[in-house]
Amino acid sequence: MKFTLSTVTKCSGRLGVLGGLDRLPNLSLQTPAFIFHTKGGSIPHLSKEAMQHVSGDPSCFLHLSISNTLHMQEAIKASRITIAEFIAQSNCATLLFVRDPSEPPIPGLPEKDSLPIYTRNGRRNITLEQYMTLVETFRPDAYVPLYDGDTDASSSKKRDQKSLDRTEKFVEQCLEWHRKSDALQSSCLIGPVVGGYNEKLREQSIAFLRQSDDAFAGYLIEGLHMHGPSVARMDGSAALGIVANVCKQLPEAKVRFCFGSYDPALVLEMVAAGVDVFDTSYVYLKAAQEHRALVFSFDVTSTEQEHVTELDTTDARWAEDFGPLLSGCRCYTCQKHSRAYVHHLHNTREMLGPILLMMHNLHHYVEYFKAIRHHVANDSLPALRNHLAGQKSLPPYEPPKEEKLPMPAAQKAELIEPMEDLGEKQNKKQRA
């Protein structure tokens, strides 16, 4: 994997091209950009046919996480094919990472020589040997070594230090394994930068990784948050300072990844700080969990007085609104369906609801990043930042509270009677 830097602006970030994969030499990605967040190798709610309405080009970069692909290992091993072939995405680049940006981790202390992975079957501790065996089975186009990045702004200095120590140990062992492995010769490595919100630990992490700079095709900035929906509401001021300092110390010729369901305004700040590649977990969480359509404006020439960033499709006021989700949008959903119809799909719990929302949100995100690259090229990103800052946001999403149904008296009696029988048995044993 090779990153070609084309432009570095004064206050708007940088432009580049990511490509040079051994398996797909003609595939490239214009940066700043995103890679598609997946579940089990598939973009959530969208088939390959539906994706054609979002992007006419079937080739893309996919974000895979071991938490929702671990169950495929035995089948892929038996088939003796790569994970790209197994998920029927041979024309797409597969990038394998440890965490799913849309899923918060389950609380718990990590083991000494393993990392907790949160799979569909619950929490599982995976050792370095198990991880590298998995990577050899999958043979992705790029992957990140095993690392401990489960830190955020509330983590203690001791926890940040432990994260760094464990990551250095894992990376050293992964590098040694990678060099000896014949199966991974065409796979690229991405170096994980950890250290929480401690700048000195971040510097130590970068210094350690740069000792093997030739082995890494790019770098992943981790340890800023614990993933999941809460990232969209995080205060990015502290994270931006860390990201900016990290980017200054990383080599300019290497691509920089930073994943999480970041708010679009925070994405702009990170682009200006020097981040190149993000993911689409924000789009997925808005569509599938919050039932909201992205409607924020990124046209700085717009004369409309008031813009709203999101549209809540669960709101009853859209029940008889037969306009598109976003006026002027060219996506399949807005061209073929109305707000009233998408609202109806939510009320009836139809599977088509999140599909249409995903199609719209992904299309909107694609156009947003086109606008970002345009502003970076013209060094006018501050104008787009000011345009976004003046838009009105909806209140934070709160999942509906499930009402507890009263338990029937007969069922209560069934629960009480066995307890009484148990007490009688214990008394008999004591008397005996």
| Binding-site annotation, residues for Zn(2+) | 329, 331, 334, 360
Q: How many residues does the chain have?
A: 432
Task: List CB contacts of 12: < 8 A, sequence separation 6 or more.
Answer: 271, 272, 375, 376, 378, 379, 380, 381, 382
> Dihedral, CA atoms, 242, 246, 252, 258, nearest 10 degrees?
-60
Task: List CB contacts of 409: < 8 A, sequence separation 6 or more.
Answer: none
269, 25 contact by CB (below 8 A): no
Interior/surface letters 16-26, b for 16+ CB within 10 angstroms, e for the rest: bbbbebebbee
Of the candidates 102, 36, 389, 385, the one whose C-alpha atom is nearest the C-alpha of residue 261 is: 102
Cα 290 to Cα 39: distance, rounded to the nearest angstrom: 18
CA 414 to chain centre: 46
**Positions at the binding site:** 329, 331, 334, 360
- The residue whose two tokens read 């740069």 is 210
Of the candidates 91, 83, 96, 97, the one whose C-alpha atom is nearest the C-alpha of residue 23 is: 91
Region of residue 274 (left: phi > 0; alpha: psi -120 to 50; beta: else): left
Number of H helices, E strands in the chain: 14, 15
Cα 263 to Cα 268: distance, rounded to the nearest angstrom: 9
CA 79 to chain centre: 28
CB half-sphere exposure, 104, CA atoms < 13 A: 12
CB half-sphere exposure, 211, CA atoms < 13 A: 10
Cα 209 to Cα 191: distance, rounded to the nearest angstrom: 7
